[in-house]
Amino acid sequence: MKYRVFYLPVISLFVFLGLAVFMLEQCKPKKDVDETVTAVASEPDYVGDKACQACHAKEHADWQLSDHKRAMEPANDSTVLGDFNNARYTADGVTTRFYKKDGRFYLETTELNGDKAAYEVLYTFGFKPLQQYLVAFPGGRMQVTRVSWDTDKKKWFHQYKGDKLHPTDWLHWTKGGQNWNTMCASCHSTNLKKGYDAVADTFHTTYSVIHVSCESCHGPGSKHAAYAGSEAYGKGDRVPGSFLRSLKNDTLAAFNSCMPCHARKTGLDPDPVFSRELMDHFIPEIPRTEYFHADGQQDDEDFIYTSFVQSKMYHRGVTCKSCHNPHSGKLIAQGNAMCRSCHEPKYEAFEHTGHQSSLTQVTCVSCHMPGKFYMENDYRHDHSFRVPRPDLSVKYGTPNACNSCHQNKPAQWAADAVVKWFGPIRKYHFSEDLVPGSKGDPSSLHHLKKLSEDTSVPSIIQATAVYYLEQVPGNMAFSILQKALAHKDPQVRYRALNNLDAYPFKHWTDIAGPLLSDKVRAVRIAAADLFLNVPVAQVPNSFREPFSKAKSELQQYLQSQLDFAVGNLGMADFYMKQQDYANAERYYLRGLKQDSMMNYARLNLSSMYNAQRRNQDALRILQEASQTDPKNGRVNYQLGLLLAEMNQVPDAEEQFRKAIANKYNDPRIYYNYGIIVQQQGKAKEAEKIFRSGLAIEPEHQDLNYALVFLLLQLKRERDALAPAMILKKISPGNPDYQPLFQRLGI
């Protein structure tokens, strides 16, 4: 059966063709113009690239050469590049046959579980260096096939080589991770409307133009096209609302028009929206170690934005169109000529490069934009434009451009060469603090504080430093977060709000409350999510109305994400914080149905069952989580807490030991583990456990309190003095500590 997901109303098609003919026949206005043509509609509509061609021939011709033009096309003999002549390809236990029938393109797969199915290829997706293919599934879904065509080597290949994914896995090509509607469509077509129905779990996805056309960047063109053919245009009169989004002399608009599709980000709307303030509609990814190397260099598939905004180039006004023709996407100049448009020729000399000019493969890009292959054969350059630092590779194990070429040499060899050419002193780079700051150990705090206060550091790096504070909570971290709430960059404010829930709400209610009315939507949403942790009766009167409005924005955002498994998790957490357990359970289970590997949902679901005193259900869910991911220390920790509550002490101890063995080094593990051991009369073992936790966070209040209490029980007052002094320093007025202070005379 063939499932259709694209709808182009007849009336829209008529307008498209009619305007295209009109614009091709004449670009200058006629004196006798029908009033219906010159009238400006209340809302502009999309008219397609052909309506632009007559007046903007050069730009249109350039665009025809672009990857944007071929971002998505109907599958036919002129667009399909792959071998469908009964070709076969086997990888990771899956065999795929590609063939044609009645002029149409098909693929047949035999999965790991033996299931065999045939699908018609309806659309091509991209065209170099690889071309992917789209097939239809029930519910309006379109899926991206896992096997792609290498357009350079002319062969089929597996994008995720080595991954043997079961058909029930979210990352399998038939599931959510390869779903076109959710994961891909918004950046490959113009005026994409996802059309997801969360109740029916179906899509009715539409677009105005199948590929990325003029209006993707400049906005809908109907008013502009009508104006260009009007008497007002001939007279030189301006008509409000008739001009498209100009990107030529507007640096911010030009940059922001590229960002939504060339960034790893979370969208706040169901469909893409242009904005001069990105974080009204998107939350760009920061260079955290989940996706980037610890020094901020690209690692996972991050696209461009997060790398580029780290660079000096960006902060000196360079934008995408400084190097790339915005219509063709091609470089304005080739090789070092591109760099010479701004930089002096001396930077090509041996004195700067350390390489002979005869080595044509060594270019500016080789050293300052090293790259990596993604999707198996797609080579992408790191756009942070950094100076190679092999000395930091020696110190931290981070990559460097020198050894990306000289792979047979150690990093020390490259570091010695740099010293030989340029001397022993290197200019400071933020990575010298970002890398140790990412470690999450006690020494990290100093580095994160330095980054957060250094105004010369890119804001996105400061946001990353604030993000890492989650790993080292305490009074100093809280002080840094408090200052970050006033940062001019909304990304920093957003990350600060996300970390405050680790502290008692009474500490941050007054300082975080004003951000419920922040001028940037992402910040308001983060503030609302934070305030869900405050009991309703304890929300200050002055913040109740802003909280109500921001919470509505938060709920709207979460609603727009329900086609994602993690979107359901976010909605479940939203209800969980409000103790709406029925809705929370509904969305946790819905998310797990979409992605059975999503253990975070199981952890939260078990906590919810525990809050309802449904401990057998909580235990069942955690045991499922442990089977799904046996090396997950957080699952072990949560199992330990639950088993201790259920008075299954030996099993609880075992889970705490596993949590530590699996490197889940939250100090609270050591506190709870030590307490349960102490209660069994094993004082020496408990002391060792408490001290192991304090090695991670020396000023952890609960651990210090537990250690003091234990040592006093053992009548070791002298030993108890040191942890007691820490308590005196960080919380001198705590009433629980006063008897200890009095006994020790401090």
pLDDT of residue 180: 97
143 and 135 Cβ atoms separated by less than 8 Å: yes
Q: How confident is the model at residue 190 (pLDDT cuts 50, 70, 90)?
A: very high
Q: How confident is the model at residue 7 (pLDDT cuts 50, 70, 90)?
A: very low
For 438, 531, 546, 634, 658, the CA distances from 540, given in Å and listed in that order, are 35, 11, 11, 34, 43
pLDDT of residue 27: 32
Instruction: Write out the H or E segment, with its range, that includes residue 267.
Output: strand 265-267
Cα separation of 411 and 397, whole Å? 9
Beta bridge partners of 74: 123
**Could you tell me which residues come within 8 angstroms of residue 327 by beta carbon, excluding any fewer than 6 positions away?**
59, 60, 62, 63, 66
pLDDT of residue 6: 27
Q: Give the tens place of pLDDT for each residue, 224-253.
A: 999 988 888 888 888 888 888 888 878 888
Q: Is the pLDDT of residue 450 over 70?
A: yes
pLDDT of residue 160: 80
Average pLDDT over residues 125-140: 96
Other CB atoms within 10 A of residue 164 CB: 11
Q: Is the pLDDT of residue 15 over 50?
A: no
745 SS3 class:
coil
Instruction: Report the amino acid identity of residue 411.
Output: A
Q: Give the tens place of pLDDT for each residue, 511-532.
A: 999 999 999 999 999 999 999 9
Cα separation of 44 and 48, whole Å? 12
pLDDT of residue 163: 80
Q: Give the tens place of pLDDT for each residue, 65-97.
A: 999 999 999 999 999 999 999 999 998 888 999
Q: Is the pLDDT of residue 21 over 70?
A: no
Tell me the torsion sign for CA atoms 516, 521, 523, 529: positive
pLDDT of residue 231: 84
Nearest to 229 by CA among 24, 388, 429: 24
Q: Is the pLDDT of residue 30 over 80?
A: no
Q: Is the pLDDT of residue 3 over 50?
A: no
Mean pLDDT, the chain, rounded, equals 90
**The model scores a pTM over 0.85:** yes
Q: Give the tens place of pLDDT for each residue, 432-445.
A: 999 999 998 889 99
Helices (H), 385-468: 390-396, 401-405, 411-422, 431-437, 444-453, 459-468
197 SS3 class:
strand
Q: Is the pLDDT of residue 28 over 70?
A: no
Q: Is the pLDDT of residue 480 over 90?
A: yes
Average pLDDT over residues 20-36: 30
Q: Is the pLDDT of residue 23 over 70?
A: no
Q: Give the tens place of pLDDT for each residue, 140-172.
A: 999 999 899 999 999 999 988 788 887 878 888
Average pLDDT over residues 463-482: 95
Average pLDDT over residues 451-455: 96
Q: Is the pLDDT of residue 8 over 70?
A: no
List of domains in the chain = 10-68+214-245 (no CATH), 72-188 (no CATH), 257-429 (no CATH), 433-664 (1.25.40.10), 665-746 (1.25.40.10)
Average pLDDT over residues 569-575: 97
Q: Is the pLDDT of residue 308 over 80?
A: yes
pLDDT of residue 358: 66
pLDDT of residue 205: 97
Q: How confident is the model at residue 4 (pLDDT cuts 50, 70, 90)?
A: very low
Q: Give the tens place of pLDDT for each residue, 534-547.
A: 999 999 999 999 99
**Strand locations in 102-244, DSSP E?**
104-110, 116-125, 130-137, 141-144, 147-150, 155-158, 196-197, 202-203
Nearest to 47 by CA among 18, 26, 72, 68: 18
Average pLDDT over residues 498-503: 96
**Could you tell me which residues come within 8 angstroms of residue 270 by beta carbon, excluding any fewer than 6 positions away?**
193, 194, 196, 560
Instruction: Write out the H or E segment, with its range, that includes residue 101.
Output: strand 94-101
Top-confidence residue, 116 or 86: 86
122 SS3 class:
strand
539 and 298 Cβ atoms separated by less than 8 Å: no
Q: Is the pLDDT of residue 1 over 80?
A: no
| Percent with pLDDT over 70 in the chain | 94
187 and 212 Cβ atoms separated by less than 8 Å: yes
Q: Give the tens place of pLDDT for each residue, 253-280.
A: 888 899 989 999 999 998 888 888 999 9
**Could you tell me which residues come within 8 angstroms of residue 182 by beta carbon, excluding any fewer than 6 positions away?**
176, 194, 196, 563, 564
Top-confidence residue, 32 or 137: 137
Tell me the torsion sign for CA atoms 122, 126, 129, 135: negative
Top-confidence residue, 203 or 116: 203
DSSP-derived secondary structure letter, 181: I
Q: Is the pLDDT of residue 39 over 70?
A: no
Q: How confident is the model at residue 359 (pLDDT cuts 50, 70, 90)?
A: low
